[in-house]
Structure 1
C-alpha cells in the first residue's frame, strides 16, 4: 500500500486503484460499489462500527473480521479514486435529469428496483432506510456539489491518508495504536458518509435516466 504514503507530486493524486477502463469511466466504480455491492444502510452501519472501534480502543476483532475490514476499506479507497476523477472532471447532471429521481423535500422518491431488491432481503429495513442521514433534502438535488465539498479542503492523497489511518486505528486500537486524532476521525467519518450518500444518489440518478439498466420488477434473473 505504498501509494497511500507516497507524496511524490508526480503520483500524489493518480487513481492507481482503478483499471484503465475505470479511469475512462469512473461511474462504473460507483455502480458496482452499490449494485451488486452492499446496501446503503449496511454501509452506514459498518462505517459507524469502525468509527466506534477506532475511537473507543475497545474493539476486539476476530481474525476473519479483520480481513473483512481490510477488504472493505480497500473498496473505499477505490471509491475515493473514482470520486476524485468525478470531482476533477467536473461531472454533473442537468436539472431535468436530477428531477427524474423525484422530490426529496416531500420524500417523493422513485427508488430503483435494484435498491428495493436489496431491501427485500432484510425484514428490519424499509424504504426510509434508503434516505440520506447526513444530507439535507435540498442537498439531495446537488449530489455532485457534495463531492466537490468533500475535496474542497483535501486532495486524493490527503483523503487516502485519512482513510488509511482510520483503517489502522479501527483494527489495531487494541494495541494502543492511534495514528489519527479522534476529532479529525469524527469529521472525516461525517464528510465521507456524505460523499457516499451522494454517490448512492448519483447511481440512482443514472438508473432513473436509463444510463444504466435497472433490475426487472421481479428482481435479477
Structure 2
C-alpha cells in the first residue's frame, strides 16, 4: 500500500484489533463505504502504524497484547488529537467513562453490528472535519472570548496574554464543545442540547458531556484558566460564570 497522503484520498482508518475475524469484517465494511484501512494486531504495532501512516481515525480495541487500549489511547492523546473510537467488550459504565476521560471520542460495545460501527466512524469523521474549518465554513475564523482565542482553522486554543500560551491539545469533541459554548458565552446549554450539537449520532447519555467537560477543564486549568466552562447547577453549562 502506498502510504503517501493526498488530500483527494478517502480517509484512512487504523483498525487496532487482535481478533482477526473482527478486523476482517471491519476492514470489509470500511472498504464498502469508500474508506481505506490499515490493521494492527497489538498495541505496539498500533502506535508504530499511527506514527507511520497518520490515520484520520483509529478503531481501538481495549484488550490487546503488549499494550492495552488504554495505554495506546494515552499515548495517542499525548501525540495529538487523532479521533479514536474504542471497541470494548466491557459493558460497564465505569469502563466507558474511563475511555472518555482518557480522551476517547466514542465507543462501541462488543458484540456490535458492523454497520453501526461504520456509521459511528462516518459521524466522527464528519465532526472532525467540521471542527477543523468551523461551523461557519470560514477557514480563517478565530473566536475571541474571555481570555481565550479559539482558532477554528488550526484547531488550537491560546490564552490571550502578553505572551500567548497554547492550551494543551484538545480532542475534537472537547474543541467542538468549547467553540460551541464560546459562540454564545452567556447562554446556558443543557447537557442534552450539547449532545445534539457536539456529539450527533454518538453517545446519548447526558453524563458523557460531563466527562468531556471535566477533561476540557483540566487542560484549561493547566495553563491557569479556571471556571471555563461554568456549571449552571441543575441545568447544564455555559462558557463564562
Name the one with the larger strand percent: 2
TM-score by length of 1: 0.23
TM-score by length of 2: 0.21
Name the one with the larger helix percent: 1
